[in-house]
Structure 1
Amino acid sequence: MARNKHPEETKRKILAVAEKLFLEKGYDGTTIQDIIDGLDGMTKGVIYHHFDSKLAILNAVMEENDSQKSLSDWHGKTGLEKIQNSVKEAFKSYRKQEIGYSAGVTLKSPRILGEQYLMTFETIVPELEKVVKEGVADGSIVTDSPKEVAELLMLTLNLWIGIQITTLPEEELHRKVRFVKKTFDGLGIPVIDAELVEIADELITYLKKNS
């Protein structure tokens, strides 16, 4: 087989076709063959050269649509502001959220949930903990348990609300967001401010109406 002289271009084409199909048919309704059919003669072997599974394609598509490209991409004057801005950017990434919503059933499988859990605690929490400690140092966050704060934030937003967003009624999701705000306010860590609640409400309404 001839060597592909433009592997990055090929990869971008695969992701573009997959993204379109995920949004039109849903992740679970899209097959690898559907993606192949949209690639003008590209073979299954080419796809598997770049991605080992449909889930890997989904993860790459979501990463491409992520407004925060890196765990170190924090913006704000204080640790608290950096966390708030990061969550706001995630909630405003409608394209990524919509693609994730289309894969709601798959993302709740025990195996994938386990992978999400491990990734959260092995990769994301340690980086978030650093920013919580920065907030403690600059006085914007008051806690003697920065690791637990980072873990609780990721658990509530990603593994409590996030994975249920496709199945819970809209009203219940709005209520859960307010409960999360109340919980962190009660801990003296106002990570979820009024603006963030409004942004979350808008995202939930959008996903329920358009997905």
Structure 2
Amino acid sequence: MDWSSWIPTILAGTWDTLYMVLVSTLFTVLFGLPLGILLTVTDKDGLAPADAFNSVLGAIVNAARSLPFIILLVLVIPFTRLVVGTTIGSTAAIVPLVLAATPFFARVAESSLREVDHGLVEAAQSMGCTDWQIIYKVLIPESLSSLILGVALTIISLIGYSAMAGAIGGGGLGDLAIRYGYQRYETEIMAATVVILILLVQGVQYAGNTLARRISKK
């Protein structure tokens, strides 16, 4: 096999995967963190208890999380076309990636925020802090190390999702693995994509662990 002719294709697929994952991560955190905060503060032990609202919101999040990604890819095709004008390519794949990862990260963020010592919250309340001040001055800073690990976990999940997006023309390494590794029996290409995906996952996990440890020590 002439690897010199395949290297540009593999590099392009790797870039498409990185593009999908990085942009999806940005929007996932942007939407998922407020959702996780909302789930935390409206809990019965939260800053602003609202049992009915929390139950409904939690049920919606759980329902979204339980939907298999490959089914979600198909279900949101009309919405994807509405948002980006197409259903093919790495940009189109970002829409279902964000929809799949946002409820996942919301629960991860909720779990991280719940780990904050309640005594710190009570101390802030005794000093007259508002709920918003407690959120961005106590809850988020104190849970930042755990949130970073949650972001790393979400990125790893998105890498896996992005590979599945290749099944419907989402581009990236998953598309290479399906079009060449599976349909054309190019086992070397399949192996190369698997190795790159493993390296990406290992790199993200290492970076997340390292950054979380540094912040925790501070």
TM over 0.5: no
The structure that has the greater radius of gyration is 2
Normalising by the residue count of structure 1, what TM-score does the alignment of the two structures yield? Answer: 0.30
If each structure's helix is expressed as a fraction of its own residues, which one has the higher value? 2
